[in-house]
Amino acid sequence: MITETAQKQANVEVETPLLVVENLTRLYGHGCPRCLELTGPETGTNTCSNCGTLVACADVNFEVYEGEILGVVGESGSGKTTLLRCLYGDVAPTKGQAFLKSFGNGRQDIFQASSQQARYLQDFVMGMVRQNPAQGLHLHITAGGNIAERLLAAEWRNVADIRERSGALLNRMEVPLNRMDHYPAFFSGGMQQRVQIAKALANHPVLLLLDEMTTGLDVSVQAGVIDLVKEVQRESGVAIVVVSHDLGVIRLLSERTLVMKNGRVVENGLTDQILEDPQHPYTQLLVSSSNS
Amino acid sequence: MLKDLITTEENYNYAFLDEGSKREIRRNLLKAVAIPGYQVPFGSRELPIGRGWGTGGLQITLSLIGQGDIVKVIDQGTDAGVNAANIRRLIERTAPDVTTTFQTSEATIIQTRHRIPEEKMQAGQLLVLQVPLPEPLRLVERSENATRRMHADKNYSRMWVALYEEIVKHGLLARAYSYPVMVNGRYVMAPSPIPRWDVEKLNNAEHLSLFGAGREKRLYAVPPRTAVVPLDFEDYPFTVEDFHGIRCQRCGAEHSFLDEITTEAGQKTYMCSDTAYCDEQVAKKVAEREMQKEFAG
C-alpha cells in the first residue's frame, strides 16, 4: 500500500509544469522601498506616490502546463503585456525568475539567459503574436519571407523546402497561397494576424504567447482567428498564454485564467469558476460589465 | 619667397601619417586578423585625398610599408586609373625607400579598389582593399547599434531573408558586387565591391587580406587559409559571372574577369579588367612568337 501511494505521488510529480514564473516584477523608474506597498489594487494605482515609479507588474506567480491555454485578463495598464514581454525576453524584469522545462533542464532562469540564449528561446522555444502586426511582422517583406525568417534562423537553407513549409503554414492559417509573395502591409488586419500566427508557429514552439491578438478585428473575423488558434492548439499541443482585456476571448480559449489589476494577480483559477463565481470585487465588476 | 611657403615632402613624416597614428592602425589590424571578419573601429585620419576615395585602404598601406617594400596600386583592375595613380604617387613621394610596381607577383603590398588581381597571390603578400560600406547588414538594418548586436549574437536571419526575397522577386541571387560572405563560420562580412568572380579568391587564400573603410572608420581582415563562404541556398547556389564563349580581344584570355567595351563602330568587345595580367599574356604571346621565328629561322 505504502509503495503504491509513493508511486502515485511519483506519478503526480512527473507532470512538471512547462513554465514556472516566480515573483515576476517589473518597475519603470528608480524605485523606492515603499513602491510595492503604495501600489496595487488596494490603493487603486500602479504609480508609487512616494517616488513616482510605475509598477507595471509585481510578484506575479503562475504555472503553465503542457498543452494548456492560460488566459490573462485585466484592464488596460494592468500589466498583462509587460508580463508577456518579460517572458519573451523583450524587456528584462526587475525581479523574479522563470523556468522553462526545455531550457537548461528546467533549472536555468530564463531571465538570466545570455542574449544568444534569449534569441534561441525566441526562435525555437516560444512564439509571440503581438497586438500590433507592425511590431510582429516586417510589413515590407513578403508574407512568405516573414515566415522564412524564423526558418532561416533555424538554418533552413533550401528555398524550395522553405517555401513548402511557409506555404503549408499560411494554408493552415487560411491565408490564400497566392498572397504568399505579397507584402503584409497590404493585407487586412485579420490576415496580418493570421500571418503573424503562422510565423510564430514556424519552428514548432512549445509555448505560444498571444498578446491581444483579436483586438481591433471585427467580431466575425475574431471568431475565425480564435477557432483557428483552438484547432492549431489541439493539433500541435502547444501551450498558450493568451492575454486579452476581452472576457469573451478568454472564455472561448482558456481553461485557466489569471485576473490582473494594477500590476497584481487578484484572482486565479478555472475560467468557468471565475466567470460564474467571481470572488474579487474587481473580477465581479469585470464579469458583470461584460455583456457576453 | 613663395617657394618657402610650399611644403615639400621632406616636411612630412615617413609615409605621411605620424607614428602614433600608424601604431594605432597596426594595433587595430592585429585585432582584425585575430577575429576574422570582425569590424574593428579605428580613428580614421585626415589625408590629402577625400574620404570615400580609398582613405581606409591608404591608411593601412601607409602604416605597413617600410624599407624594401614593393607596392602595387590598382583601381578596378588597372594600375593606370586616376585613383590608383594618385595614391601610388603619394606613397612614392612620402616613402622614398619604397618602390612601386605593376607586377602582381613582384609586389609585397597590393592596394586595390574593387578587384583582386587575376594572378594567384602568394603567402607573404598583402592585399589591401578599399571599402566604401563595411557593414553588410546595413541594407537590412539602419541602426549601427542594432547591426553590432546582430553580429554579436550571430543573428543573420534578416540578411538571409533579404537573399530569400531576392530569389522570390528575381528568381536568382541578384547581387553583382559586394556579395555577403561568412568568414570563418562566424561573421558575415562585406568583401568590398569586388565582383562575384573575385569572391572565391578570398576563400582559403595564401595571402592576407586587409580591408579599410576610411569614411566609416572600420578595419577588418581575412587571414590566410580562412574559410570565406558566400551566403547561398542549396537549390540556389552562388555562381560567378559567366564569360563562356567570350575572350579578351587583346590577349585572348578566356579565364579572366572581362570588361565589356563598345567600340566606335558600336560593336561589343571584351577586355581583361586586370590590365597587368593582360599585358603579361600579351608579352607571353610575343615571346612565343619570337621563339617560333628563331626556330623557323
CATH number, domain with residue A92:
3.40.50.300
Say if B99 is an interface residue toward chain A (CB within 8 Å): no
Total domain count, chain A = 1
Q: Is residue B127 part of a domain?
A: yes
**Whole-angstrom distance between the N-terminal and C-terminal Cα of chain A?**
50
- Claim to verify: residue B221 and residue B254 sit in the same structural domain: no
Q: Is residue B153 part of a domain?
A: no
Residues 6+ apart with CB under 8 A from B21: B43, B45, B59, B63
- Claim to verify: residue B36 and residue B110 sit in the same structural domain: yes
Q: Is residue A11 part of a domain?
A: no
Q: Is residue B195 part of a domain?
A: yes
**Residue indicated by cell numbers 592585429:** B30
- Claim to verify: residue B129 and residue B199 sit in the same structural domain: yes
Gap between the Cα atoms of A63 and B43, Å rounded:
52
Query: CA of A143 to nearest chain B CA: how many angstroms apart?
Result: 10
Put simply, the answer to whether A158 touches B234 (Cβ < 8 Å) is: yes
Q: Is residue B199 part of a domain?
A: yes
Marked catalytic residue, from B57, B245, B272, B297? B272
Total domain count, chain B = 2
Gap between the Cα atoms of A205 and A150, Å rounded:
11
- Claim to verify: residue B220 and residue B266 sit in the same structural domain: no
Put simply, the answer to whether A142 touches B233 (Cβ < 8 Å) is: no
Q: Does the active-site annotation cover B124? A: no
Say if B145 is an interface residue toward chain A (CB within 8 Å): no
Task: State phi, psi for A191 to the nearest 5 degrees.
Answer: -70, -40
Nearest alpha-carbon partner for B59 in B44, B71, B81, B38? B44
Contacts of B160 in chain A (CB under 8 A): 148-149, 152
Q: Is residue B18 part of a domain?
A: yes
β-bridge mates for residue B119, sequence order: none
Q: Is residue A4 part of a domain?
A: no
Question: Of chain B residues 187-206, which have a CB less than 8 A from chain A?
Answer: none
- Give the Å distances, CA to CA, from A228 to A20, A65, A189, A253: 27, 21, 15, 11
Say if B12 is an interface residue toward chain A (CB within 8 Å): no
All three cell numbers of B53, joined, read: 576615395
Q: Is residue B277 part of a domain?
A: yes
Marked catalytic residue, from B54, B57, B77, B248? B248
Q: What is the ipTM of this complex?
A: 0.85
- Collapsing DSSP to helix, strand or coil, B151 comes out as helix
Structural domain boundaries, residue B215: 2-134+184-226
- Collapsing DSSP to helix, strand or coil, B257 comes out as coil
* Other beta carbons within 10 Å of B130: 27
- Claim to verify: residue B39 and residue B67 sit in the same structural domain: yes
Gap between the Cα atoms of B273 and B117, Å rounded:
9
Put simply, the answer to whether B158 touches A150 (Cβ < 8 Å) is: no
Pairs across A and B, CB distance < 8 A: 47
Q: Is residue A90 part of a domain?
A: yes
Q: Is residue B233 part of a domain?
A: no
pTM: 0.88
- Claim to verify: residue B9 and residue B42 sit in the same structural domain: yes
- Claim to verify: residue B58 and residue B204 sit in the same structural domain: yes
Search chain A and give the residue with CA nearest B171.
A159
Q: Is residue B179 part of a domain?
A: no
pLDDT string in tens for chain A (292-residue length)? 455 555 555 555 567 899 999 999 999 999 899 999 999 988 989 999 999 999 999 999 999 999 999 999 998 889 999 999 999 999 999 999 999 998 988 889 999 999 889 999 999 999 999 999 999 999 999 999 999 999 999 999 999 999 999 999 999 999 999 999 999 999 999 899 999 999 999 999 999 999 998 888 888 888 888 999 999 899 999 999 999 988 889 999 999 999 999 999 999 999 999 999 999 999 999 888 876 5
Q: Is residue A141 part of a domain?
A: yes
CATH of residue B188's domain is 3.40.50.11310
